[in-house]
């Protein structure tokens, strides 16, 4: 299926603003492979839209490293089964239901490779939640609960060589050696990227920014 494509940030901001102005609370999902630019786009949109928009990364639902070690999954961190997908879906449901209460969510910190609970505050005045991550469109297991909770999903797809270069640079910046960074980017991360690419068909919009 040929997805409509957008390459202009101003047009994306206008589209997100229309979502935010709907009655009640809406949720926009931004998805793509590792280092596709999801976080950058989501943060830029949140800043552009102001106080009625809130950024909620999926990465807050990483399982703790101790749990991954116990499960034998530490070397695959970032794969679908290394997240609490059911917990993430439950949070999105709670946010969709709205209400007058403030909701608190976890935030992932790359510098320590762990999440800290309750760092993201979503107040009752938030009209648009922008959530970004790898597996928002994955149609299996508890991940399948996520897509029905999203009003729109945008799939971010940069030039592949640029994405891989960003990914290696990011791993190096957070402490991996250049050799380990390249091995992880072309190994575990690439396996995940292939899986994510297969979910592209379930998106509403293809985003290609420079």
For the chain, the average pLDDT equals 92
Token pair in block for residue 41: 């786009």
Q: Quick one: average pLDDT of 64-91?
A: 95
Model confidence pLDDT, tens digit, residues 130-170: 999 999 999 999 999 999 999 999 999 977 788 778 878 88
Residue 107: pLDDT over 90: yes
pTM: 0.90
| pLDDT, mean of residues 46-71 | 97
Which of the residue ranges 5-9, 101-105, 110-114, 168-172 would you say has the lowest mean pLDDT?
A: 168-172
Q: Which two tokens stand for residue 2?
A: 């040929």
Residue 1, pLDDT above cutoff 70? no
The residue range of the domain holding 187 is: 5-207
- Say which residue the tokens 């971010």 belong to: 156
- Residue 130 parent element (H or E): strand 128-133
30 near 130, Cβ under 8 Å?
Answer: yes
The reported pLDDT for the residue numbered 87 is 98
Q: Taking 90 as the threshold, does the pLDDT of residue 179 lie above it?
A: no
CATH number of the domain to which 124 belongs: 3.40.50.300
For the chain, how many structural domains are there in total?
Answer: 1
């Amino acid at each position: 299926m040929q997805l409509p494509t957008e390459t202009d940030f101003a047009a994306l901001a206008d589209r997100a603003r229309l979502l935010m102005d709907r009655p009640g609370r809406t949720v926009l999902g931004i998805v793509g492979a590792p280092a596709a630019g999801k976080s950058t786009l989501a943060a830029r949109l949140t800043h552009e839209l102001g106080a009625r928009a809130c950024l909620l990364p999926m990465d807050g639902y990483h399982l703790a490293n101790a749990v991954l070690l116990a499960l034998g999954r530490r070397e695959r961190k970032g794969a679908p089964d290394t997240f609490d997908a059911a917990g993430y879906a439950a949070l999105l449901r709670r946010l969709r239901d709205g209400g007058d209460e403030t909701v608190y969510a976890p935030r992932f910190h790359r510098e320590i490779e762990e999440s800290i609970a309750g760092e993201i505050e979503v107040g009752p005045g938030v009209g648009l939640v922008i959530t970004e991550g790898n597996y928002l469109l994955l149609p299996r297991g508890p991940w399948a609960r996520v897509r029905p909770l999203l009003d729109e999903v945008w799939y971010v797809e940069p030039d592949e060589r640029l994405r891989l270069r960003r990914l290696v640079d990011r791993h190096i910046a957070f402490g991996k050696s250049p050799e380990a960074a390249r091995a992880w980017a072309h190994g575990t991360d690439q396996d995940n990227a292939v899986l994510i690419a297969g979910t592209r068909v379930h998106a509403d919009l293809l985003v290609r920014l420079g």
